[in-house]
């Protein structure tokens, strides 16, 4: 069985992440979405538990996807899942430099774990969790950027103001 790991902070999961998960699920037998525990971001918008719950909810229509948190090195998590493949999305050239370095380091450090890149669907090339967080600082939602359940959670937590779509 082919298993791929899709790692990230997912703070919060976006429609771009979700598209990538769906596409990976069409290629691999099993996709493990790995949510990083020790995020370096100082003030995450959502706790780890919330991020995992929101991801599970957003992925519930995709049968061959599971969502788990992980701590420590990504390559150790990948091996623990019985996989040797990581998948990451590439939105633009801007992403490439950092992603290439991560992929190289992970391959060297693990003696062979490969990273595959999927180009982000152009509809989502400007979508990012960091932009969602930046707008949230000003209580502004970006309904086009996040799945419905995330938007709902943001409104319910009082992070953003209610939007027309919510009424």
30 catalytic? Reply is no
Please choose, from the candidates 33, 88, 85, the residue with its C-alpha nearest in 3D space to the C-alpha of residue 60. 33
* Least distance from ligand PNS to the Cβ atom of residue 38, Å: 8
Q: Do residues 99 and 90 make contact, with C-beta atoms less than 8 angstroms apart? A: yes
Which of the residues 41, 60, 137, 140 is marked catalytic?
41
* Least distance from ligand PNS to the Cβ atom of residue 29, Å: 22
| Subset of residues 72 to 131 that bind ligand PNS, contact rule: CB under 6 A | 73-74, 102, 105
41 catalytic? Reply is yes
79 catalytic? Reply is no
**Does 132 sit near ligand PNS (CB under 6 A)?**
no
Q: How does strand 114-119 pair with strand 3-8?
A: unpaired
Angle between helix 48-58 and helix 148-156 axes, rounded to 10 deg:
140
Q: Which CB atom, from 73 or from 162, has the smaller least distance to ligand PNS?
A: 73
Please choose, from the candidates 71, 80, 78, the residue with its C-alpha nearest in 3D space to the C-alpha of residue 6. 78
How crowded is residue 111: how many other Cβ atoms within 10 Å of its Cβ? Answer: 9
* Least distance from ligand PNS to the Cβ atom of residue 102, Å: 5
* Least distance from ligand PNS to the Cβ atom of residue 18, Å: 14
Buried b (16+ CB within 10 A) or exposed e, 64-93: ebbbebbeeebbebbeebebbbbbbbbbee
Q: Which CB atom, from 105 or from 131, has the smaller least distance to ligand PNS?
A: 105
Would you state the structure tokens that stand for residue 132, as one six-digit string? 């969602």
The binder of ligand PNS chosen from 18, 33, 36, 67 (CB under 6 A)? 36
- List residues binding ligand PNS (CB under 6 A): 7-9, 36, 73-74, 102, 105
Just list the catalytic residues. 17, 41, 91, 129
């Amino acid at each position: 069985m082919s298993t791929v790991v899709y790692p990230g902070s997912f703070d919060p999961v976006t429609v771009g992440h979700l598209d990538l998960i769906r596409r990976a699920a069409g290629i691999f037998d099993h996709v493990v979405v790995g949510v990083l525990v020790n995020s370096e971001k100082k003030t995450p918008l959502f706790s780890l538990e919330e991020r995992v719950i929101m991801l599970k909810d957003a992925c519930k229509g995709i049968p061959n996807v599971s969502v788990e948190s992980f701590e420590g090195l990504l390559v150790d998590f990948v091996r623990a899942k019985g996989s040797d493949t990581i998948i990451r999305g590439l939105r633009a050239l801007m992403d490439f430099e950092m992603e290439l370095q991560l992929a190289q380091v992970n391959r060297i450090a693990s003696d062979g774990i490969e990273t595959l890149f999927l180009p982000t669907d152009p509809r989502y090339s400007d979508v990012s969790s960091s932009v969602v967080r930046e707008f949230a600082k000003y209580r502004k939602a970006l309904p086009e950027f996040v799945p419905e359940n995330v938007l709902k959670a943001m409104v319910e937590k009082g992070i953003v103001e209610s939007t027309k779509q919510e009424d």
